[in-house]
Amino acid sequence: MKLFVFLLLGILSNLTSAASHQPVSDSVTVTFEVAVPETTPEDATIFGAGSLNSWDPGNQGKGFGQKEYAQPLTYREGSWTTSITAPKNSEESYKYTRGSIYSAEERADYTYRPTRKVVFNQTKTVRDTVEAWHDIPPKSLTQNWPHLKLKEADITIMSDDHLMDGIGTVLYDKATGTQFYDFNKNATQVKEIPDNFYDATYYYQKVSATTDDLQLISAAKTAPEGPWNIFVDQNGDKKISKEEKVFTISNDEEKYEWSGKIPVKEIKNNNTIIDSVTFSLQYAPDLPRGYTSSPGTNAPDLTFELPLKNRRATYNDQIFYVSTLYFIPFSSHNQVLIDRNQNDTLEVGSGSNEVYSSDLSQMRRKQKFFSYPSFELGENSWQVANIEPHGEWIRLRPAPNKSAKKKIADGQPAPDWQATAVTGKILSSENLRGKYILLDFWGSWCGPCIQEIPLLKKTYQQFKDQNFEMIGFAYQSRESLDKALEKYQLPWPQITDEKGKCSSKFLVRGYPTHYLIGPDGKVLEKGSSLSGQELIPTIEQYLK
């Protein structure tokens, strides 16, 4: 069974306007002059990444839903320089990179460098010095940073009891898709369609990690009052032919899907190559509220799925894996996976200690930009120093030894926590001891979270008088949570978890996530047993 995951690209990216380079009324221009270390490669390009460009490290829009907002600095007379215009008296945070999440600046001792701050209070010049780069070792320690070859791997990845051999989301038309990707004119052109096409809608999906190549899909009727037919451009020529029809939607009750090979254009070692990948397509008449493929039309909602890219490496007889989305470079987003319990399965769901993610969404959650998770291999701790975009190689660097991340398993004590609810009441694992507690990690931006609210309300009403409590941890701002609570009228306590402090304690990997905690503070249930129609029967067995 394939696991279908909604990638909340637009929400997690928190994209902001990058119009800061254009003067506006009541604005101030600040010039930045930057000195870089001698270890900086001669062909490097320096970028400023920060709150003004949604922390895009400069990867030209090829990151996890990132727009092409990062502007390169210009090399002039021994230093790198740029001028940025922003609203007067605004305070902005920033760092310098060489174009990826791994090539960010660090302190001279190769430890995390806190974000820089600048106030746009007057026209001025700020002079900064980059002391070291995360991905370039000091010459004396080069041998201590192992450079390892990566090989393609066939692995089993599970998330909350579901097999995860592919990942996807809603398929969008051009108007909606441009919110997540930079669709250029050539990539979205349709060169030819059949004569008898009515009410045609065109969908596009990014399929290449290194080019602007887009997959073309069309929904159209072949008669004015006929059913919807779905076509897939299966040879990449930007033309739709009758022979490329993959299914006809006769009604909403049947399941319609297609899977087949499509061409993918990639750039590797400065050469353009044509590869192929399995692309899966489904008709989705029951998307959560707020999700649609083509707003403002009656065209059918579609979802897609692409396989994951998985790699394997060995260091000192210790095996680990690296995985990413098919259309994302490994250097923009990846997960390091380690089979801790040696069961030939990698668990990536909430509560797992076998997955370590490096991506901007995780950095935003912790509000700690260009920081990297440590993981244990044998007796030592490591971080990813750098990884080749195609997954050809990976470089590790020693990390400070930390306590190993412990899996949150059924029957084990739940993490301790304390937080203040929106009502002002202080809640904690300690003062709730003695009750059955359902922890709900959610956000009002999350379609599946909103979809399950009626079930959660029913659950709360059924068990609230039976030594039972529900606690909501909302991963969003207090202002947006207040609006959501007014709209949805949730009667159980809510906590604003804007910086992900509590979700990090519970190793939350996606939303919604639920944990059922027993009166003794131990985890009773998590994952699929608390999802959908399993939720109430699962709780009932404890509250008989």
Q: Identify the helix (H) or strand (E) that includes residue 182.
A: none
* C-alpha to C-alpha distances, 14 to 62, 250, 445, nearest whole angstrom: 16, 38, 11
Q: Which residues lie closer than 8 Å to 251 by C-beta, 6 or more apart? A: none
In the chain, where are the structural domains located? 9-136, 147-163+308-398, 166-307, 418-540
* C-alpha to C-alpha distances, 507 to 7, 38, 368, 504, nearest whole angstrom: 18, 39, 17, 5
Q: Per 3-state DSSP, what percentage of the chain is helix, strand, and coil (rounded to 5)?
A: 15, 35, 50
- In the prediction, which pLDDT does 62 show? 41
d(CA 319, CA 313): 6
- In the prediction, which pLDDT does 176 show? 85
- In the prediction, which pLDDT does 402 show? 62
Q: Write phi, then psi, for 177 (nearest 5 degrees).
A: -65, -30
| Cα first-last separation, the chain | 33
- In the prediction, which pLDDT does 68 show? 41
418-540, what's its fold? Answer: Glutaredoxin (3.40.30)
Per-residue pLDDT 10s for the chain (544 aa) are: 333 444 333 333 333 333 334 445 689 999 999 999 999 999 999 999 888 888 888 754 443 334 444 668 999 888 899 998 889 999 999 999 999 899 999 988 888 999 999 999 999 999 999 999 999 998 878 888 999 999 999 999 998 888 888 888 899 998 888 777 767 778 888 999 999 899 999 999 999 988 888 999 999 999 999 999 999 999 999 999 999 999 999 988 889 999 999 999 999 888 999 999 999 999 999 888 778 999 888 999 999 999 999 999 999 999 999 999 999 899 988 999 999 989 999 998 888 889 888 877 778 777 788 888 889 998 888 999 999 999 999 999 998 766 566 778 888 999 999 999 999 999 999 999 999 999 999 988 887 888 899 999 999 999 999 999 999 999 888 998 999 999 999 999 999 988 778 888 898 877 899 999 999 999 999 988 998 899 999 999 998 7
Q: Do domains 9-136 and 418-540 have the same CATH topology?
A: no
Per the listing, tokens 């997690």 go with 12
9-136, what's its fold? Answer: Immunoglobulin-like (2.60.40)
d(CA 436, CA 212): 51
Radius of gyration from C-alpha coordinates of the chain: 25
